[in-house]
Structures are given as structure tokens and as C-alpha cells.
Amino acid sequence: GNSVTQMEGPVTLSEEAFLTINCTYTATGYPSLFWYVQYPGEGLQLLLKATKADDKGSNKGFEATYRKETTSFHLEKGSVQVSDSAVYFCALSNNAGGTSYGKLTFGQGTILTVHP
Amino acid sequence: KAGVTQTPRYLIKTRGQQVTLSCSPISGHRSVSWYQQTPGQGLQFLFEYFSETQRNKGNFPGRFSGRQFSNSRSEMNVSTLELGDSALYLCASSPEGHGAREQYFGPGTRLTVT
């Protein structure tokens, strides 16, 4: 079946530090990959996506590259801000065989705290 | 374009009662999915509806049910509530019924069962 594994958290950084949150996946076929962010008391917001191997998704300074050879989709940002403090979720969508309609499989989430 | 809306935002119920949560998708989106989020289990898929038909269902007991109306609005119902049903329930809509597509989430309904 499909699964997503995120790096253990939480992650604590100082403002302007470099961020990496690791994400690896297991899936048959060619899944689409996503990063979502959740701020306190809110739902999930789509941060970026990649739909095929070697695609790079980017948004608001965040980037992630779909690496099929390593089954990874690591999230990076060159200089974090206090406002980036949130929970980040890696997710995949895989409709191989037509059996996973409307289902995102999520990692466990990584709490990011950025200090001034 | 308005985002996904969920009502109510907060709900407190007693064990044994039932509850109905509502979700209005983004205009034009025909696929609606529901998730349960808890600190222990994370985000778990409940079910997905498209054109008023349930196409996919997660591993939850039959107490959890849902439906979708012709305007794509969806409801989920939990009967005979248990303490373990306390969670954030998230609804998400998607613009396409086929293939692997991104989903757009509502703010969630926080259900507390006492």
C-alpha cells in the first residue's frame, strides 16, 4: 500500500536559518506528491506539489523535488521566518488501479518552530 | 473564489449521541473527501464522494457515514459517539474526479465528546 514517512520532529530553528524536512514515500505506480502546512487552529493549506519525477514544486520560498530514484520529496527553504512556524505534512495521492479516489496519504507531520 | 467552508466549527457532544457535520466545497469542485485528525493517529481518510456517490472509504466503523448532495455539498454523520471520536474533522474538495489531484481543505470542525 501507500505510505509516507517524515523526519522526526519537532524542528527548532533561528530566523534566517536553512530548513530541510525529509519525506520519503512508498507507492506503486506514479503518485503525485504534496506538502501541506497547518497553522494553529486552522485547516491544511496546500504549499506545493509535484506530479511526476524530477518535477520541482515551489511556493513562498519553499521548494521540493520529486525524486523517484530515492522515493523522496524533501522540503527546503533557504531562510525561514518566524511566520513559518507551523506543522508541515508531506502527502501523496495515487490512483493506480483506480482504487484510491480522493484519498491523500499523509506523513505524521513535522512541527517547525522558528525563533527570532 | 470562496474556499471550503465547514459548519459548525466547534461542537461538544455526549457519548451515545449522534452528530452531523457539513461541508461546502469550492464552487465547481465535485469531489469531497473527509479526514479525521487526532494527535495519536494523525490524519486518516474517512471517505470520498463524487457526484453523490461514495467512491472510496477508509477503515472506519459503520458509525461513520456520509452523503453528498446534487450541489456537491456534503455531510458526514457519526452515530453513537464514543470518547475516541473526539477529533478535528476536515473536509477537502478537489477540482477533478479522475487522477491524482490536489485537495483544498476547510478549517475543520472540532468535535469534543464528553
**B103–A46 C-beta distance less than 8 A:** yes
Confidence band for B97, pLDDT divided at 50, 70 and 90: low
A37 with A44: CB under 8 angstroms?
yes
Smallest CA-to-CA distance from B106 within B34, B38, B55, B47 is with: B34
Q: Which residues of A touch B (CB under 8 A)?
A: 31-32, 34, 36, 42-46, 49, 51, 89, 93-95, 99-109
Residues of A in contact with B106 (CB under 8 A): 43
Residues of B in contact with A102 (CB under 8 A): 31-33, 48-50, 55-56, 94, 103
The phi and psi torsions of A98 (rounded to 5 degrees) equal 65, 25
Confidence band for A9, pLDDT divided at 50, 70 and 90: confident
pLDDT digits 0-9 by tens, A40-85: 989 999 999 999 999 999 999 999 999 999 999 999 999 999 999 9
Q: Which residue(s) pair with A50 in the sheet? A: A33
A38 with A9: CB under 8 angstroms?
no
Position B95 scores a pLDDT of 82
